[in-house]
Amino acid sequence: MAHGPRSLITGASSGIGAAFARALAARGQDLVLVARSADRLTALAAELTAKHDILADVLPTDLADPGAADAIVAELATRNIEIGTLINNAGFGSHGEFASLDAARERNEVFVNVVAPHRLTRALLPQMLSRRSGTIVNVASTAAFQPVPYMATYGATKAFVLSFSEALAAEVRPQGVRVLALCPGQTDTAFFEGIDEARVGRARTPDQVVATALRALDRGQAVVIDGWMNYLLANSIRLAPRSLVTSMAARMQRPKGKPRSPSAR
């Protein structure tokens, strides 16, 4: 059975988070699994413990709660669990005209996508620096590379994750800590439930996304975009005028039945 610092994964009950859990458990990593669904976390922990003979603690937590990250850190201290790898994967998106979207849900989106990973990183990074060893994976998105009309909050939160991760990677690399911004495109997860109109292109699988992340960590990369088509799209966007990119994104993401504004024609 593995010993030493564990890997903490948020959003671990399904999708990319669960794929990370399975991949790391296969490498002999002990885990701390965080998500809202206690039942799913418990089932996953039992599966991985039985299959790989690892330790897997579960911390059912709603990261939309402003105090969630602090509560996780406090519980880790109570259980005397040290974290060597932090995977900030939990996140969700919304789709529609910003002014008409549910205000509470938009606030929660910022807490889950930005505040929780920021606080967890700030709390757990000093331990890694003191050991001169550690890994942080922040799951951003290809949406981080340009404004996304009708998904304004989501795109902005992922732009924060990307910029924060790139800056932090440069700070801590000399001290032995790796930071990676993982940028998936459309992925076959529950992300699009309720916002099906926002789907664009062909979906990759969670296992493919995780494999991309693990290869990037082995190579010492600070940013990786999953999938060649996503890579080409994200980098071509950087070469185009920002106003043009935003206008094109507005056309692609406009809710069905919503008339085009003159500026978007």
CB contact at 8 A, 140 and 181: yes
- Rounded to whole angstroms, how far apart are CA atoms 198 and 95? 7
C-alpha to C-alpha distance for 265 and 262, rounded to whole angstroms: 6
Q: Which residues are tagged catalytic?
A: 154, 158
Report the distance separating Cα 163 and Cα 236, nearest Å. Answer: 18
Pick the closest to residue 142 from 263, 257, 252 (CA basis): 252
Secondary structure (DSSP) of 181-244: EEE--SBSSGGGTT-GGG--SPPBPHHHHHHHHHHHHHHT-SEEESSHHHHHHHHHHHHS-HHH
> How far is residue 176's CA from residue 131's CA, in Å, rounded to a whole number?
8
Give the residue among 95, 141, 142 at the shortest CA–CA distance from 250.
Answer: 95
Q: Going edge to edge, which strands form the sheet with 134-139?
A: 56-60, 31-35, 6-10, 83-88, 134-139, 177-183, 223-225
Phi and psi at 59, nearest 5°, equal -130, 85
